[in-house]
Amino acid sequence: MASPRSANVVGSGPNGLAAAIVLAQAGLRVRLWEGQGTLGGGLRSGELTLPGFIHDLGSAVHPLAISSPFFCTLPLHAFGLRWIQPELPLAHPLDHDSALLFRSLDETADHLGPDGPLYRRLMEPLVEHWDDLMSEFLRPLLHVPEHPLLLARFGIRALPPVTLLARMFKTKRARALLGGLAAHSVLPLTSPGTTAFALMLGGAGHARGWPFPQGGAQALTDALVGYFRFLGGEVTLNTPVQHLRELPPADLTLLDVGPPALLELAQGRLPESYVQRLRRFRYGPGSFKVDYALSAPLPWTDPQVGRAGTVHLGGDLASLTRAEAAPHRGRLSGAPYVLLAQQSLADPSRAPAGGHTVWAYSHVPNATQQDALPQLEAQIERSAPGFQSLVLGRTVSSPATLQASNSNLVGGDVGGGANSLWQLLARPVLSAQPYRTPVGGVYLCSASTPPGGGVHGMAGYWAAQLALREFR
Ligand SMILES: Cc1cc2nc3c(=O)[nH]c(=O)nc-3n(C[C@H](O)[C@H](O)[C@H](O)COP(=O)(O)OP(=O)(O)OC[C@H]3O[C@@H](n4cnc5c(N)ncnc54)[C@H](O)[C@@H]3O)c2cc1C
């Protein structure tokens, strides 16, 4: 049987890189085309504020990358990747104290007091079977499971809205912790499926941590690119591909793009029925991001928060629920949920001596042009009063700025499409092989395909595996 000899990969995000590596490992000549001047898509770093301060343009915190069944098989260490584990994965300041997520499940359960036993019962099975769970979860939902009981047990717990799960907990701490974790879904917290995000991210914190690549997110991209080049892969920058016909002939083409870009790239080659299905794909709220260069660490009222790599701001569960509903109603929240990372506390290489980097964003209506900076800064100020006096430089990225730096971030949606239950199944269309497009040899491999957003490379991995199988 014939084997494919060459492939094009369009887009160098973590999924494009994963796909390119799988194809190169299979012996193909792989050419990677990137529209921007730097590689990595949502996995890049640079001096966004002042010289010597290294900020992450997209992702900062990597529980999924360190848990990725594919990345774990790659010799990324040999290509310079070092994971930095902050002392605590996560802190969530409240008015009088903070909810803390420790690496240790026991310590976290102790910290949650009367809610500890229930928290332990919820997390323990996930932590014990983490690798199996990841191999089930980081792939299309529609598949024959290798661990059906584990998946069924997880599914039953994960389906309800987090607001329902939280009713089983007595303390403000536990409820806020779960709400803040679930808010990574960018769904209203009353939506079904939000519990899945809380369990997965909480479980990841205990099983693998929430690490940063030393030197910035770019270091993970650089390691992936280094290995790809070692396998013989070729890279071309500054080449936004407008249509498939611009690419050199190849047996396979993998596209690290979303549905709107696929409609352009394959214009004239897609059947109308598929075009209509792609047009039904929906994006979620956008993000409003700010990167800070600071002259000192954030002055948290609760010093425990300074031990954490990631901080969730937004107060108790009721406040978080209001905050996360707002962008879905087309409004800015007056007191938003803010996701914040303080990388330089654990990785001094990120800033000149004495300086610090902070990465923060809130969820806003898709493509909004409203200024969400005052609300975001008020949330930081609430838990770290006086922080403004430490700001040496700041760079604000609106949804439009984010999209200009990476066309996959449609309207500032950083997850490649809304995480509604329907789109967890139909991503981007309902199909047993959602990566396949109707154009022969052309596959989608971005976060708009399963398992969705986040840095894990698994969409690229599964798309490339399918492409190889179908060619053969
Ligand atoms: C602000 C922000 C914060 C985030 N935080 C986290 C986090 O902390 N942890 C986490 O796990 N995830 C996080 N994410 C999500 C994560 O970065 C994405 O889910 C992930 O990068 C998606 O990978 P991808 O390969 O599908 O696409 P992308 O990373 O979006 O890469 C797509 C690439 O394709 C290129 N491209 C697109 N169209 C074309 C074309 N026609 N021609 C040539 N090139 C093209 C783009 O320029 C881009 O480089 C964050 C994202 C953002 C933006």
CA of 59 to the centre of ligand 1 (A): 8
Say what the pLDDT of residue 472 is.
78
> Which 3-state string (H, E, C) describes 286-301?
EEEEEEEEECCCCCCC
Say what the pLDDT of residue 143 is.
86
What is the C-alpha separation between 391 and 158, in angstroms, rounded? 40
Say what the pLDDT of residue 151 is.
85
Regarding the beta carbon of 454 and ligand 1, being less than 6 Å apart is answered yes
CA of 3 to the centre of ligand 1 (A): 30
Beta bridge partners of 85: none
Regarding the beta carbon of 45 and ligand 1, being less than 6 Å apart is answered no
Two tokens, residue 68: 């990725």
CA of 256 to the centre of ligand 1 (A): 9
CA of 224 to the centre of ligand 1 (A): 14
Regarding the beta carbon of 62 and ligand 1, being less than 6 Å apart is answered yes
Say which residues have a Cβ less than 8 Å from residue 226's Cβ, sequence separation at least 6: 79, 80
Tens digit of each residue's pLDDT (9 = 90 or more) over 402-431: 999 999 999 999 999 999 999 989 999 999
Ligand 1 atom 21 nearest Cα = 42
What is the C-alpha separation between 251 and 203, in angstroms, rounded? 40
DSSP states of 424-440: HHSSSSS-SSTTB-SST
Which residue out of 36, 59, 396 has the highest number of ligand 1 atoms within 8 Å of its CB and is therefore the one to mutate? Answer: 59
Contact between 193 and 158 (Cβ < 8 Å): yes
**Distance of CA 207 to CAs 21, 72, 203, 408, Å?**
26, 14, 6, 30
CA of 34 to the centre of ligand 1 (A): 12
Closest atom of ligand 1 to CA, residue 57? 1
Closest atom of ligand 1 to CA, residue 289? 1
What is the C-alpha separation between 91 and 88, in angstroms, rounded? 7
Closest atom of ligand 1 to CA, residue 16? 25
Which residue out of 414, 435, 445, 456 has the highest number of ligand 1 atoms within 8 Å of its CB and is therefore the one to mutate? Answer: 414
Say what the pLDDT of residue 141 is.
83
Beta bridge partners of 308: 88
Q: In the chain, which residues have pLDDT < 70?
A: 1
Domain ranges of the chain: 6-44+62-78+214-282+415-471
Tens digit of each residue's pLDDT (9 = 90 or more) over 347-385: 999 999 999 999 999 999 999 999 999 999 999 999 999
Contact between 443 and 456 (Cβ < 8 Å): no
CA of 107 to the centre of ligand 1 (A): 34
Contact between 37 and 237 (Cβ < 8 Å): yes
Tell me the residue length of the chain: 472
Ligand 1 atom 12 nearest Cα = 454
Largest Cα–Cα separation, the chain: 68
Please tell me the CATH superfamily of domain 6-44+62-78+214-282+415-471, with its number: FAD/NAD(P)-binding domain (3.50.50.60)
Ligand 1 atom 38 nearest Cα = 257
